[in-house]
Amino acid sequence: MSDGSRTVDKVKTLLKPFKDSDLQQTIKLYDSLAETYDQDLDMLTYRAPHLAVDFLDVNFPGVREKVQILEVACGSGLVAKLMAELGFRHFVGVDCSKRMLDQAAKTGLYQDLRQALLGPEPLPAQTGVFDVVIGVGALDAGFAPVSVVRDLCHTARPGGMVCMVRGDHRGAASEGYREDLQRELQLMEDKWLWRPALKQSPR
């Protein structure tokens, strides 16, 4: 149950990332938010999962029922729920928050759920096997560090799709993160590690 005292502004503040160094705080925050996360987000117009899944709906060419999906920062499973509505079936989820993973488990959609704090800990997934690697709301200061993007690419099979959606947060830490991310994505493109399919800013 949502505690009723949460206002839209409060929820927005809770969902904002911390400073770079506070990854343990991120775990604590999401552990504390997990039980009411879905209801709290109903108070916001949280479009990020829809943006990612709409993109896949239009651009993913494979047979949906057969493909293997790795979802990083899966949270309570909102993205997998939307993807399942489109016919995707095989999900492995990763998140640093045990309590968010407990919520994700309740969806019954994930074959496997793995707890890892990405950055300090390695991505617990095989390389080169996933048809789709997806992460929504994971890339920002205080969340998954920029270096994780390269690991995500490595877990995708050759020709697989990596789909990341991030909020356009303000503040020095987020702006620094965005610059580092752009630099890393360009380096990866220069090395032919990936090719951008679409880069889109939310309206």
Q: Which residues make up the interface to ligand SAM (CB under 6 A)?
A: 15, 23, 26, 30, 48-49, 73-75, 78-79, 95-97, 100, 117-119, 136-138, 143-144
Contact 96, 22 (CB under 8 A): no
DSSP 76: T
Compare residues 9 and 190 and give the one whose CB is closer to ligand SAM: 9
Shortest Cβ 18–ligand SAM spacing (Å)? 9
Compare residues 100 and 133 and give the one whose CB is closer to ligand SAM: 100
Burial zone of 163 (CB within 10 Å; 0-12 exposed, 13-18 middle, 19+ buried): buried
Shortest Cβ 46–ligand SAM spacing (Å)? 7
Residue with the CB atom nearest ligand SAM in the bound state: 75
CA angle 110, 122, 141 (to 5 degrees): 90
Compare residues 63 and 200 and give the one whose CB is closer to ligand SAM: 200
Shortest Cβ 130–ligand SAM spacing (Å)? 16
Compare residues 26 and 68 and give the one whose CB is closer to ligand SAM: 26
Shortest Cβ 13–ligand SAM spacing (Å)? 13
Encoding tokens for residue 82?
Answer: 């939307």
Q: In a 3-state reduction of DSSP, which class is residue 125?
A: coil
Encoding tokens for residue 95?
Answer: 């998140």
Shortest Cβ 76–ligand SAM spacing (Å)? 6
CA-derived radius of gyration, the chain: 16
Shortest Cβ 118–ligand SAM spacing (Å)? 4
Write the CB contacts of 160 (distance below 8 Å, at least 6 apart in sequence). 130, 131, 132, 133
Contact 136, 79 (CB under 8 A): yes
Compare residues 63 and 102 and give the one whose CB is closer to ligand SAM: 102
Compare residues 75 and 160 and give the one whose CB is closer to ligand SAM: 75
